[in-house]
Amino acid sequence: MNLSVFDAAAQMGDAPAFFLGGRSWTWGEVGAQVGQRISVWKAAGLALDSPVPVSLVTRLNSDTVFSILACVELGLAVVPLHDRWTPPELHEVQRRCPWLRPLPEVHGDEAVPADRIKERAQVDIDGPLAVMFTSGSSGNPKGVVLSRRAFLSSAVAVRMHLGLESSDRWWSPLPLAHVGGLSVLLRSLAWRSSFVVSTGSFDPVQAVGEMAELGATVCSLVPTMLRGFVEQKVRAPGSLRVALVGGAAAPLELMDDAISLGWPVLATYGMTETCSQVATQKPRAAGDHSACDTHAPMLPGVQARISERGEVELSGPMVMDGVLGSSVLRGDWSGRVPLDRERFTEDGWLRTGDLGTLDDRGWLFVRGRLDATVITGGENVQPAEVEKVLRMLPEVRDVLVFGLPHPRWGTRVVAAVVGDGLHGAQMNAWMRSQLAAFKCPRAYLELDALPRLPTGKVDRQTILTQAKRAVPFWTAD
């Protein structure tokens, strides 16, 4: 098992590789498209033996898939940029990483068979495959460095845990700038299986129709999508054997309702720092319609423990190498620069920031976050990032961003603001010009002042209590 497109093309030839927008490509055709990109990039002077990471905006189209796979073939560290990020967000990543290089554009459809690429890259399995930018608790983008070995180890563990085969077909609506979407692409490459890239706005009926038409056996969902199926009483397609539900906590009632509609749902837990899932429920026996367990077993190769303060700590080959530190961001990239490992314990375990427990089987139950991260519709939102943008408005004197339960999104982003002459619609327009829509508050509460503890810190609990009773002065719902 490896992550070589050229090897996959030689081994699988006419076997289907992926489906997108009504089209399909075989592994042989994918190999030829990857060969074309490598040929064009070499002609354009891209230093293919350089450790300088390359960036691309990850729109859900075939060009993005081919470009990512070409980077993987060459051993280039790819930096996926979310196509929903605004210009200010993209600029912030570029400002912090001046060594980033965009990929040369590829025009025309002339494919280049793999056997015409004379030079095969010598790829370091411990070298970085991707740098995934996510918002950190400080509100600034954090570059999570994930190695080739980490993604490959994750692919092996998922296959063993779920009992998947190369004949499986994975349907995924997740963006390729998310580790959940990227990992599906890389698993399919490692397994020589096929996957379906679902594009456009999510519609439950259309999604099931696409799964059924293409014979999807596995799918990735966030709870918001699952709720859409349940609310419209859409039954699972007959081909589906596994429906992974992650990105946020899914209520047991929702999972049970989905099971009654034939959805083979499995709760899964993971994060960007671990190449996605590390704990996932096991597939049920046919005809088992019992309620979901609240715990999930760890994937092969993953170890979990609970710290004294109740935090989940993880160890395993799919854990990140570290985060790009400030010294790296100011200088030139090198495969040998030290990474920020403040998220690790002294003995090398990853501190997840999640609160959890392990039962007597060693299965994990996640109870919530240590910090204030808001997970809405499967997207992670760091309040500090949202607060920083709100404070740019002259009428905002103080602000606290948090999450409140919501029937559709699981949690919605809410801002408690202190200021003069506040206009919700204008604030919303400003926020949407600066941040992706999912990060923007869906409701605003106006306070005379933020309540504070004797230490001077904001009394979050009091604000949450007030917010549950208050009527927002502006809401998007």
- Which residue in 240, 287, 247 sits closest to 265, CA to CA? 240
**How far apart are alpha carbons 16 and 14 in whole angstroms?**
6
Please give the residue that has the higher pLDDT: either 389 or 477: 389
Mean pLDDT of 26-41: 92
- 376-422 pLDDT, tens digit per residue, is 988 888 888 899 899 899 999 889 999 998 888 888 999 999 998 89
- Are 130 and 157 in contact by the 8 Å Cβ rule? The answer is no
Buried b (16+ CB within 10 A) or exposed e, 329-364: beeebeeeeebbeebbeeeebbbbebbbeeeeeebb
Residues in CB range of 163: below 8 A, 6 or more apart: 283
Residue 274, pLDDT above cutoff 90 = yes
Nearest CA to 78 out of 99, 103, 60, 59 is that of 103
pLDDT at 99: 77
For the chain, give every domain's residue range.
5-358, 374-475
Q: Report the pLDDT value the prediction gives residue 137, as an integer from 0 to 100.
A: 47
What is the CATH class of 374-475? alpha beta
Domain range 5-358, CATH architecture: 3-Layer(aba) Sandwich (3.40)
Q: Do domains 5-358 and 374-475 have the same CATH topology?
A: no
Tokens found for residue 316: 């395993």
Mean pLDDT of the 129-155 span: 83
In this prediction, residue 117 carries a pLDDT of 58
92-114 confidence digits (pLDDT tens): 888 777 778 888 888 765 556 55
- Lowest mean pLDDT, pick from 191-195, 359-363, 372-376: 372-376
Burial class (CB in 10 A: 0-12, 13-18, 19+), 185: buried
Buried b (16+ CB within 10 A) or exposed e, 1-36: eebbbbbbbeebeebbbbbbeeeebbbbbbbbbbbb
What value does the mean pLDDT take over residues 147-153?
Answer: 96
Cross-strand partners of 152: none
Mean pLDDT of the chain: 87
More confident residue, 250 or 28: 28
Tens of pLDDT, residues 281-335: 998 766 665 656 778 999 999 999 999 988 999 999 999 999 887 555 555 565 5
pLDDT at 454 (0 to 100): 55
Closest CA to 280 of 171, 394, 374, 154: 154
- Higher-confidence residue: 343 or 318? 318
pLDDT digits (tens, 9 = 90+) for 1-26: 899 999 999 999 999 999 998 899 99
